[in-house]
């Protein structure tokens, strides 16, 4: 049974389609990397997957339940089975790291406080932040903040965790340590991870499967070996980091620069 | 030209009411949906909007009380009737001045605090973060804020009553050459229970209005720091304007 099933999802902003008829699924114990160039719609896709944005059409199923059917409270209940680590952490700035990780446990479960404390310390130990538990989010470095966000995402022992751009803005050593953490989450905890990134190297290192998003369409869904072997020119452009070939039209270029209407 | 602002005003009233409706939902049914309201969060808001506002409320209500006494006695002295100042104070302070001053103080202090807090939570993605954890932002942020104001503003009105009446009494009794105790006994005797409770009820209404408006402004922050500043300013201005308008409405309806 898949943990996440996306069926013919179309979505975007104010009637403007950014994601067009995308389908994919995530099975237990795999790391799925969603890749794509800048502006390809990765962040938008993620918003649809984690319950922040109802799709224009199509469906998102978590544990075989339609995420967006019913009331907002049904959605909150379904969302309590997943974890999300945002790019900038999105931790509550007025709470300590410990309280931030404890937040989902305190607010959505009936666990007694002493159990919660042990669970939180376990998660902080897992991401190696136990010694920072009393600091505020503003007192952590970028890399620590991301690990704290991971600890919070893992707090309720979900089966599925989403991560947005985990290595963006980190130095290569810290970014690679974060990749190791993602593999550790998969191997040690048996949790499936969906990672949105445009870091090629990191994608190849962690992915069980890679999904490539391009201009709102899924143009590839397969293993790391398969993507290396792909002869699709846009995928080749992505993995060889070449700018996409574009026919140069001198007249059109002139119009654009001069702000003239399209001819 | 007038329709633009009018429409946005109507839109905003709609936004405030929708927000209040969702908030009220979690007050009543939150627990049943696994979204219980936490009392510690409510008490934090009481601390912030209530307890910490006590000094400024005492100061301002006290000053206004003394000014009322001075002005009133000056006017009454034209008719040689200074001793009736107690009637004026007993009618105007608990019903009118104390709730109004408290409302304006809380609008300035808490209106800006709430809008900037919720606005920056939105900008930092904290509200989205709560949503994906399955924690309703309305329950976690809005409900405690609103309940906190609902509790603290009426209490501040009572404190404002004491400060304004006490200091006005101190001035008037001295000016009339009476004992403070005798003056206050008369004064309290003259306050009607209905006026006193009306004043406190204004506190409840102002609390809800300030909370509702400031939260809705905070939620509407989008774009960045510029908008946060703009919405915080608007929030305070709209809160104060609404309080004065509603206070006027009370007076007009009282005439009927
Ligand atoms: N809030 C928004 N309102 C309107 N359009 C938006 C909004 N956010 C993104 N878009 C548009 O949606 C498209 C896809 O943006 P998105 O942020 O999903 O791309 P992305 O793949 O995450 O890019 P990046 O790798 O640079 O983060 C872009 O054309 C962008 O202009
Ligand atoms: Mg993005």
Residue B12 has pLDDT above 90, yes or no: no
Per-residue confidence (pLDDT) for residue A250, from 0 to 100: 82
The enclosing H or E element of A26 equals: strand A16-26
Per-residue confidence (pLDDT) for residue B125, from 0 to 100: 92
Give the whole-angstrom CA distance, residue A90 versus residue A85: 8
The DSSP annotation for B5-35 comes to HHHHHHHHHHHHHHHHHHHHHHHHHTGGGT-
Per-residue confidence (pLDDT) for residue A142, from 0 to 100: 86
Per-residue confidence (pLDDT) for residue A255, from 0 to 100: 84
| Cross-strand bridge partners of residue A192 | A160
> Per-residue pLDDT for chain A (263 aa), expressed as one digit of tens each?
789 999 999 999 988 999 999 999 999 999 999 998 888 899 999 999 999 999 999 999 999 899 999 899 999 999 988 999 998 888 999 999 999 999 999 999 889 999 999 999 999 999 999 999 999 999 998 889 999 999 999 999 999 999 998 887 788 888 888 899 999 999 988 999 999 988 888 889 999 999 999 988 999 999 988 888 888 888 888 877 765 556 677 888 888 888 887 65
Evaluate: CB of A41 within 6 angstroms of ligand 1.
Answer: yes
Q: Give the pLDDT band of residue B6 (cuts 50, 70, 90).
A: confident
Per-residue confidence (pLDDT) for residue A242, from 0 to 100: 64
Phi and psi based region of residue B67 (left: phi greater than 0; alpha: psi -120 to 50; beta: remaining)? alpha
The average pLDDT across B8-34 equals 87
| Whole-number percent of chain B with pLDDT over 70 | 99
Give the whole-angstrom CA distance, residue A157 versus residue B96: 56
| Cross-strand bridge partners of residue A31 | A193
Per-residue confidence (pLDDT) for residue B31, from 0 to 100: 85
Going from N- to C-terminal start, the domains of chain B cover 37-254
Give the whole-angstrom CA distance, residue B179 versus residue B182: 5
Detail the DSSP E strand segments found in A36-116. 57-62, 65-66, 82-85
Dihedral over Cα of A123, A128, A134, A140: its sign: negative
- Per residue in B68-103, pLDDT (tens digit) is 999 999 999 999 888 899 999 999 999 999 999 999
Ligand 1 atom nearest the C-alpha of A13 is 4
User: First and final CA of chain B: distance in angstroms?
Assistant: 35
Q: Is A9 helix (H, G, I), strand (E, B) or coil?
A: strand
- Per residue in B163-181, pLDDT (tens digit) is 999 999 999 999 999 999 9
Per-residue confidence (pLDDT) for residue A238, from 0 to 100: 80
Q: Please determine, for the modelled complex, whether the ipTM score is greater than 0.85.
A: yes
Pick the range with the lowest mean pLDDT from A94-98, A240-244, B20-24, B145-149. Answer: A240-244
Going from N- to C-terminal start, the domains of chain A cover 4-81+160-258, 93-157
Instruction: Return the residue in A76, A79, A84, A103 with the most chain B beta carbons within 10 A, the one to mutate for interface testing.
Output: A76
Q: Distance from A164 to chain B by nearest Cα, in Å?
A: 12
**Average pLDDT of chain B, as a whole number:** 92
* Polymer length of chain B: 256
CB contact under 8 A, B134 and A52: no
Q: At A133, give phi and psi (nearest 5°).
A: -60, -25
Give the whole-angstrom CA distance, residue A80 versus residue A83: 8
- pTM of the shown model: 0.87
- Per residue in A97-129, pLDDT (tens digit) is 999 999 999 999 889 999 999 999 999 999 999
Per-residue confidence (pLDDT) for residue A42, from 0 to 100: 92
Residue B116 has pLDDT above 80, yes or no: yes
Q: Distance from A88 to chain B by nearest Cα, in Å?
A: 8
Per-residue confidence (pLDDT) for residue A243, from 0 to 100: 59
Question: Are the C-beta atoms of residues B125 and A90 closer than 8 Å to each other?
Answer: yes
CB contact under 8 A, B128 and A86: yes
CB contact under 8 A, B125 and A86: yes
Q: Domain A4-81+160-258 is in which class?
A: alpha beta
CB contact under 8 A, A80 and B140: no
Residues of A within 8 A of B122 (CB-CB) are none
Per-residue confidence (pLDDT) for residue A196, from 0 to 100: 93
- Per residue in B129-142, pLDDT (tens digit) is 999 999 999 999 99
Half-sphere exposure (CA, 13 Å, Cβ side) for A55?
Answer: 24
Size of interface A-B (CB pairs under 8 A): 67
Q: How far is the CA of A42 from the centre of ligand 2 (A)?
A: 6
């Amino acid at each position: 049974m898949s943990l996440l099933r996306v069926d013919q999802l179309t979505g975007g902003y104010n009637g403007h389609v950014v994601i067009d008829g995308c389908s994919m699924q995530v099975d237990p114990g795999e790391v799925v990397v969603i890749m794509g160039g800048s502006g390809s719609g990765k962040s938008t896709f993620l918003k649809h997957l984690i319950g922040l944005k109802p799709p224009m059409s199509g469906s998102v199923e978590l544990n075989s339940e339609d995420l967006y059917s019913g009331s907002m409270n049904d959605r909150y209940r379904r969302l309590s089975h997943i974890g999300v680590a945002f790019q900038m952490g999105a931790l509550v700035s007025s709470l300590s790291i410990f309280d931030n990780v404890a937040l989902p446990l305190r607010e959505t479960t009936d666990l007694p406080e002493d159990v919660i404390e042990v669970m939180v310390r376990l998660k902080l130990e897992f991401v190696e932040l136990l010694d920072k538990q009393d600091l505020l989010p503003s007192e952590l470095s970028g890399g620590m903040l991301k690990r704290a966000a991971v600890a919070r995402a893992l707090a309720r022992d979900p089966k599925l965790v989403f991560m947005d751009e985990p290595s963006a803005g980190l130095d290569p050593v810290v970014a690679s340590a974060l990749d190791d953490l993602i593999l550790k989450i998969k191997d040690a905890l048996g949790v499936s991870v969906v990672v949105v990134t445009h870091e090629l190297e990191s994608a190849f290192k962690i992915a069980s499967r890679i999904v490539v998003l391009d201009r709102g369409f899924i143009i590839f869904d397969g293993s790391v070996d398969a993507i290396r072997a792909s002869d699709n020119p846009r995928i080749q452009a992505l993995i060889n980091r070449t700018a996409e070939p574009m026919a140069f039209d001198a007249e059109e270029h002139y119009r654009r620069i001069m702000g003239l209407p399209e001819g | 030209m007038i329709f633009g602002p009018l429409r946005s005003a109507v839109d905003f009233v709609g936004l405030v009411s929708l927000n209040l409706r969702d908030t009220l939902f979690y007050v009543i049914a939150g627990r049943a949906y696994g979204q219980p309201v936490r009392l510690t969060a409510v008490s934090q808001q009481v601390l912030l909007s209530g307890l910490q506002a006590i000094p400024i409320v005492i100061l301002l209500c006290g000053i206004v009380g003394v000014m009322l006494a001075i002005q009133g006695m000056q006017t009454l002295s034209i008719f040689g009737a200074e001793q009736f100042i107690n009637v004026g104070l007993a009618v105007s302070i608990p019903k009118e001045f104390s709730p109004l001053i408290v409302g304006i103080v809380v609008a300035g202090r808490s209106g800006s605090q709430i809008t900037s807090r919720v606005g920056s939570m939105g900008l930092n993605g904290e509200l989205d973060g709560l949503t994906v954890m399955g924690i309703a932002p309305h329950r976690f942020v809005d409900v405690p804020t609103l309940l906190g104001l609902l509790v603290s503003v009426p209490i501040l009105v009572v404190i404002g009553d004491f400060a304004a009446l006490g200091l006005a009494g101190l001035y008037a009794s001295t000016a009339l050459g009476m004992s403070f105790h005798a003056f206050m006994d008369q004064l309290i005797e003259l306050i009607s229970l209905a006026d006193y409770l009306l004043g406190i009820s204004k506190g409840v209404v102002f609390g809800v209005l300030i909370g509702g408006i400031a939260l809705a402004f905070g939620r509407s922050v989008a774009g960045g720091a510029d908008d946060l500043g703009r919405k915080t300013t608007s929030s305070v201005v709209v809160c104060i304007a609404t309080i004065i308008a509603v206070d006027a409405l009370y007076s007009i309806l009282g005439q009927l």
